[in-house]
Structure 1
Amino acid sequence: MVTSDTLSQDVKGFRFIMLTRLVRKGITPCIAASILLLAAVACSDTPSEPAAPAQQPTVAAASQPAPAATQAPAATAAPAAMAPTTAPATAAPTAVPTAAMQTAASVGGDKEIFIVTPFAPSSNGAIETDDSGILMSAGATETMLKIDFDGQVKPYLAQSWSLSGDDTWEFTLREDVNFHDGTHFDGQSIVASVSYLLGVPNPPRGFTADNIASVEAPSEYTVVMRTVEPDYLMPSRFATRPTAALSPAAYQERGDGPPNPIGTGTGPFVIEGDISIESIRYVRNEDYWDGLANLSAGETLFVPDGLVRAAMLETGEVDLLHHLAISQLPLFEGDSDFVMHRAQQPRTVTLNVNNRNGLFSDLNVRMAAQHAIDKDAIVASVLEGVGDPAVGPFAPSEAWVNPDLAPYEYDPERSKALLAEAGHAEGEAQVALWTYPSRAEFPAMAVALHEMLNDGGFSTEIRLAPWGALVDDVFAGNYDMFLVSRGHLLDAYDPEGFLSADYTCDTVDVSNYTNYCNPKVDELLARARTLSDLEERNEIYREIQQILHDDASTIFISYTEQIFAHGNHVLNWQPHMLEYYTVTTELDIAN
């Protein structure tokens, strides 16, 4: 059975393409009938899955030697750990005029870019939410440190940083930065930002009273932060998007709501107008501290439907597309008018099961579902060979992967036997599989999973709905199965944040998709946070992976390869490993 919450008007092409390809590649024809309904779902007026979190490097404490980098393929290699760094000096600032918030003529003339991406803001630009990624991608906000395109932690609004003892970090700030509203940037700006994050209901990992003892600005351009326990990932945490600095006015005038990011950031572009679920527009900051941007303005459009996004690029309605649907690759491959980028990401397509409530609270039922799914067939057919079948949460190229995990073999008969051991005759174990359509491949993948699970003895129905209509029930434990794309490097080039968010008892009802709780995992993660040695932490992460695997806690489907495309008139653009920086000073378009 297939249900959907919202129907789209523009899906015939996708239905035909997926029907043809799935049948041709060996997935049985009964999938096709369901695709005719599932591919019709869209959520263009509803918030979607948060923007992709991705790879960040680790930063070594000043008193620790940099650990050796683990060899990995170039696309996902872990950069070497960095010691505290100092940036070159820059000229003194000038006051920002009111006109800095208006569109102005560029040195090279007026140039505007149009970008399309699947994930819309869900919280009106609240800095503590995933909306912070939209603000940074638009070039409106900046953090103390940055993860550069080469994967290294580098100075940004802070020129240098250092560690005293085990728990005191000192950051020296730039002296030439102004906010968009003309207010000068200083240490108190960072104190205000961190203090706000410490008080929100769901702060970024690492920014809670349990971790941060104090933050102060002892001088105009110095910030000192003390942690409760050693936290060797703190510098890279200050490169995460919610830690972006906003003008004091954003906090003073917020009332009971979040600070307003419009006209209060420091970036090379200023948000113009409202932040809506349809689009965000930005104009050049004419007094940016690091030089004027090549572009005079731009607009990012939020379109969940992958078919529509591809059509917008093909017809020239947009210049740059994030997350090209795999089914649309033939439109652009080999066409000299377009440039394609395929980038591996620390992200795994995951079928979460509810470990707390219902059928999947039984280990035998969870193991049955593992054996019912043919991951190789899904990658080969639905994903057309883009990506690789997954065994655990981490790809083989990642330094902390457990290479000894043995995959659950595809065996429908074994699945039926395990269900029988759990007391369920064939067809009696009724489950609902939920997913969302803003990941263009998910409707077809859900149909393939539906058939495989039914062949393995389950009785499965599919619910396809916008992300926002599903996620609260998932976190509350009111679901059976949830197909999701999950990034696993959330705070640093280290999986501690992901494992803590998704697999600890404290995060049940908050961010724990599987509703999984095992005190042993909590104990191991608590120990890992106190270790400065990277390999010691990795050994703990490998042990946790084995525990999750033995508990059959999650069905990991595939490791992700993301596809971006743009017209050949777009200059100086490259995908960022975190998708943090899209609209930069260097980005340009040919006249």
Structure 2
Amino acid sequence: MLVVAGCSGGAGKENTTNKNAKAAEGTGEKVLTVANATDIESFDIQNNNNTQSEAVLVNMFDYLLKNDSSQKKVPGLATSWEQVNDTTWRFKLRQGVKFHNGDPFTAADVKFSLERLAKDSKLLQNTYYKRFKEVKVIDDYNVEIITDGPDPLMLNRLSRMGADMLPSKYIQEKGMDAFMKEPVGTGPYKFSKWLKDNRVEMVKNTDYFAGMPKWDKLVFRVIPEASTRVSELLTGGVDIASNIPTTDLKRIEGVNDMKVAQATIQRVLHLIMKTAPGSVTADPKVREAVDLAINDKEIVDSIVGGAGIPTRTSVTPGNFGAEPSLYNQYLYDKEKAKSLLKEAGYASGGPKVTFSTQVQYKEIAEVAAAMLTEVGFQVNLEVLEASKFSEKLNSKKFNELFLLGVGNSLFDASNNYNRFKLANAKGETDYNNPEAEELIQSAEKNMNPADREKQYQRVQQIFAVDRPTIYLFQLKGNYGVGSKVEYKPRLDEMYYAEDINPK
């Protein structure tokens, strides 16, 4: 039987690649090993807020609907659906599905999962689902989801992070703490082990409703340093390595039948700013100076080797509501940036700002910070490990500037503006533009696609002037692919193991 990869320790741990590879060879075990820069946040899939968590956990948990590789909605735990009216959708559930602990999947689990998500405001994914008013159980395999108003994004919501189905009986009897230690879903792979900031391991679910999974074991290793991820790929410690620097691509391509897979992904780099009174970035002239000081194209060419597309909007092509006039565009005028700072009252000694980033974007942030320094900003660059960065992000403890890579699992413009709505912006950007707020709120309930598209295009024009955030560029994902697997990256960045084939 094919041996795909061994399993080895995380960054900074003793390398046990050869030992584990031999063990796998001896047992004929088919193991898929993926190296990521960051870890999942937790197994409470309703309380995660990053794409990397979802990319891993889609193998343990199922949605009612799935997105195929072209983002078309296809059946998951629901076999069919229909819109009854503007506020009601009816879903027919798949029969014969079991959770990993043996409990049957029924309408009770849909009700428990979605109502918990909608009603608990402390959950990080609550804001996307709080308009779910009720899940009405018709019988064990038919449900209706009722919203508090028209929702043009119902199907988008049910096929993304947060809408994973939880085992209601298990959690109600054992409690959420027990679930977090021994999580169960309905997916093709079952929980085996989690060593925080090191690895997540899963084993195949032999009772999976869609048939026997193709891998015996999945290993998602956490390796923050890009050079280490590349080394592990080259030595056979991993089969797929994410976020490969362009400077390392030549080390991989063609070496021992390895290759590089590149794909445009949904992720756009934002430089998000505080607009609250009292912050130096509350002044629109200072925010514009930040925008004009940073040469997006130079960063794309020199730091990411061309693996990016400059943009003045985060609603990129392929997402509903895109504004083409702001895509593949950037502003750069160093002298005007200096002039704006003088107009803002910083004739001698520029404004002091703390610029926070996670280690994944360290080089990009260093270059951007140097550009800001050149026009007069006094920059304190704060580089954080992924877990510390997530902690600060979720508690809204950043200062003037922070660099964030934001994906779009909804494939809709609304996902890009959720954090800037008045209620959500409080304590983070504190952004408050009445026209933008009205447009965002209205578009979320607008069932007329043509009108809704115009609303979001207007919001993008407002943001291009207000600058509560500055968009740098849309990323292209570089993946190193080992010689024993066939892998095609997805636009949504998910690792569906069943779509990754052993050679």
**TM bucket by the smaller chain?**
0.7 to 0.9
Which residue matches 1:171? Answer: 91
Q: Which runs of 5+ in 2 are unaligned?
A: 1-9, 13-23
Matched, 1:241 2:161: yes
Which residue matches 2:472? Answer: 557
Which residue matches 1:570? Answer: 485
Q: Which of these residues, 361, 365, 378, is aligned with residue 299 of structure 2? A: 378
Deviation string for 1:107-136 (max 9, x for gaps)?
x95311221111202235554324796476
SS of match in other structure, 2:470: strand
SS of match in other structure, 2:219: strand
Contact 1:191–1:216 (CA<8 Å) still a contact in 2?
yes
**In structure 1, what is the Cα distance between the partners aligned to 2:51 and 2:347?**
48
Give the 3 Å change call, closer, same or farther, for CA 550–254 of structure 1 in structure 2. farther
Matched, 1:540 2:455: yes
- Look up the equivalent residue of 1:589 and give its one-letter code: P
**In structure 2, what is the Cα distance between the partners aligned to 1:499 and 1:135?**
20
Give the 3 Å change call, closer, same or farther, for CA 217–131 of structure 1 in structure 2. farther
Q: Which of these residues, 350, 368, 374, is aligned with residue 449 of structure 1? A: 368
Contact 1:262–1:270 (CA<8 Å) still a contact in 2?
no
**In structure 2, what is the Cα distance between the partners aligned to 1:289 and 1:335?**
39
TM-score under structure 2 normalisation? 0.87
**In structure 2, what is the Cα distance between the partners aligned to 1:177 and 1:157?**
8
Give the 3 Å change call, closer, same or farther, for CA 289–283 of structure 1 in structure 2. same
Contact 2:81–2:92 (CA<8 Å) still a contact in 1?
yes
The offset of 1:472, in angstroms, is: 5.3
Deviation string for 1:493-544 (max 9, x for gaps)?
211122122x11110247x5x3322222111111112222322211111111
Deviation string for 1:44-94 (max 9, x for gaps)?
69xxxxxxxxxxxxxxxxxxxxxxxxxxxxxxxxxxxxxxxxxxxxxxxxx
Q: Which of these residues, 416, 438, 443, is aligned with residue 338 of structure 2? A: 416
Deviation string for 1:282-310 (max 9, x for gaps)?
11111111111122112111111111111
**In structure 1, what is the Cα distance between the partners aligned to 2:472 and 2:364?**
10
**In structure 1, what is the Cα distance between the partners aligned to 2:465 and 2:364?**
25
**In structure 1, what is the Cα distance between the partners aligned to 2:384 and 2:127?**
32
TM-score under structure 1 normalisation? 0.75
Sequence identity (%): 25
Matched, 1:494 2:412: yes
SS of match in other structure, 1:273: strand
Which residue matches 1:72? Answer: none
Within 5 Å, which residues of 2 pair with 1:219-258?
A: 219-255=139-175, 257=177
SS of match in other structure, 2:497: coil
- Look up the equivalent residue of 1:499 and give its one-letter code: Y
Which residue matches 1:85? Answer: none
Which residue matches 1:524? Answer: 439
SS of match in other structure, 2:332: coil
Give the 3 Å change call, closer, same or farther, for CA 477–515 of structure 1 in structure 2. farther
Contact 1:253–1:259 (CA<8 Å) still a contact in 2?
no
The number of residue pairs the alignment matches comes to 476
**In structure 2, what is the Cα distance between the partners aligned to 1:123 and 1:543?**
37
Which residue matches 2:20? Answer: none
Deviation string for 1:129-165 (max 9, x for gaps)?
2479647635211111001123211111100000112
Q: Which of these residues, 506, 509, 512, is aligned with residue 423 of structure 2? A: 506
Contact 1:251–1:259 (CA<8 Å) still a contact in 2?
yes
The offset of 1:229, in angstroms, is: 0.4
Matched, 1:589 2:499: no
Give the 3 Å change call, closer, same or farther, for CA 137–155 of structure 1 in structure 2. same
Contact 1:270–1:283 (CA<8 Å) still a contact in 2?
yes
Give the 3 Å change call, closer, same or farther, for CA 498–582 of structure 1 in structure 2. same
**In structure 2, what is the Cα distance between the partners aligned to 1:508 and 1:204?**
15
Contact 1:426–1:458 (CA<8 Å) still a contact in 2?
no
Give the 3 Å change call, closer, same or farther, for CA 312–361 of structure 1 in structure 2. same
**In structure 2, what is the Cα distance between the partners aligned to 1:206 and 1:541?**
19
- Look up the equivalent residue of 2:290 and give its one-letter code: A
SS of match in other structure, 1:324: coil
Which residue matches 1:4? Answer: none
Q: Which of these residues, 368, 375, 386, is aligned with residue 289 of structure 2? A: 368
Contact 1:250–1:260 (CA<8 Å) still a contact in 2?
no
Within 5 Å, which residues of 2 pair with 1:60-139?
A: 110-130=29-49, 134=53, 137=56, 139=59
**In structure 2, what is the Cα distance between the partners aligned to 1:206 and 1:477?**
19
The offset of 1:331, in angstroms, is: 0.9
Matched, 1:185 2:105: yes
**In structure 1, what is the Cα distance between the partners aligned to 2:52 and 2:399?**
28
The offset of 1:479, in angstroms, is: 0.6
**In structure 2, what is the Cα distance between the partners aligned to 1:196 and 1:172?**
21
**In structure 2, what is the Cα distance between the partners aligned to 1:416 and 1:132?**
37
Which residue matches 2:380? Answer: 461
**In structure 2, what is the Cα distance between the partners aligned to 1:334 and 1:429?**
49
**In structure 2, what is the Cα distance between the partners aligned to 1:559 and 1:163?**
34
Deviation string for 1:348-392 (max 9, x for gaps)?
112222222411000111111112111121111111111122222
- Look up the equivalent residue of 1:424 and give its one-letter code: Y
Give the 3 Å change call, closer, same or farther, for CA 261–225 of structure 1 in structure 2. farther
Runs (4+) off by over 6 Å: none
SS of match in other structure, 2:340: helix
Contact 1:249–1:264 (CA<8 Å) still a contact in 2?
no
**In structure 2, what is the Cα distance between the partners aligned to 1:44 and 1:518?**
44
- Look up the equivalent residue of 1:435 and give its one-letter code: T
Give the 3 Å change call, closer, same or farther, for CA 259–135 of structure 1 in structure 2. farther
Contact 2:356–2:398 (CA<8 Å) still a contact in 1?
no
- Look up the equivalent residue of 1:110 and give its one-letter code: E
**In structure 2, what is the Cα distance between the partners aligned to 1:363 and 1:185?**
52
Give the 3 Å change call, closer, same or farther, for CA 477–420 of structure 1 in structure 2. farther
- Look up the equivalent residue of 1:415 and give its one-letter code: A
The offset of 1:317, in angstroms, is: 0.7
- Look up the equivalent residue of 1:453 and give its one-letter code: L
- Look up the equivalent residue of 1:568 and give its one-letter code: S
Give me the CA root mean square deviation: 2.6
Contact 1:416–1:426 (CA<8 Å) still a contact in 2?
no
The offset of 1:191, in angstroms, is: 0.9
SS of match in other structure, 1:241: coil
Higher helix proportion (structure 1 or 2): 2
Give the 3 Å change call, closer, same or farther, for CA 451–587 of structure 1 in structure 2. closer
Larger CA deviation: 212-221 vs 273-282:
273-282
